[in-house]
Structure 1
Amino acid sequence: MKFTLVQTLAATLFAAAAVADTLSCSADSHCPEDFPCCSNEGTCGTGSYCLGPCDPRYSFNSSSCMPAPACKAGTYTPRAADMMNQTDYLGNTSVTDFIYYGEIEDQDDSVIIKMPAHSVGGVISSTFYLWYGKVSFKFKTSHNAGVVSAAILFSQVQDEIDYEFVGSELEVAETNFYFEGTQNYTNSVKAAASDTYANWHTYEIDWSEDSVTWSIDGVSVRTLNKADTYNDTSKEYDFPQTPSRLQFSIWPAGDPTKNAPGTVEWAGGDIDWNAKDFSDPGYLFVALDTIDVVCYDPPSDAQVKGNTSYIYDGNGFLQSNVIVSDKETWMKDLGRTGFNTGQDK
Structure 2
Amino acid sequence: MNTLFQKFKLNESIELQNHILMAPLTRCMAGDNLVPTDAMAKYYARRADAGLIISEAIIIRPDGQGYPNTPGLFSAAQVEGWKKVTAAVHEKGGKIFAQLWHVGRVAHPYFFGGDVIAPSAIGVEGTVPRMRDLQYVTPKAATVEEIKQLVSDYATAAKNAIEAGFDGVEIHGANGYLIDQFLHHASNARVDQYGGSPENMARFAIEVVDAVTSAIGHDRVALRLSPGAYFNMPADKQDREVFDFLIAQLNNVKLAYLHVGIFDDGMEFDYLDGRVSDYMRKVYQGTLVGVGGFTIESGAKAIEDKRFDLVAIGRPFIANPDLIAKAKRGDELVAYSDEMLTSLV
TM-score range, shorter chain: under 0.3
Q: Comparing both chains, which one has the higher relative contact order based on Cα–Cα distances under 8 Å and sequence gaps of 6 or more?
A: 1
TM-score (ref. length: structure 1): 0.28
TM-score (ref. length: structure 2): 0.28
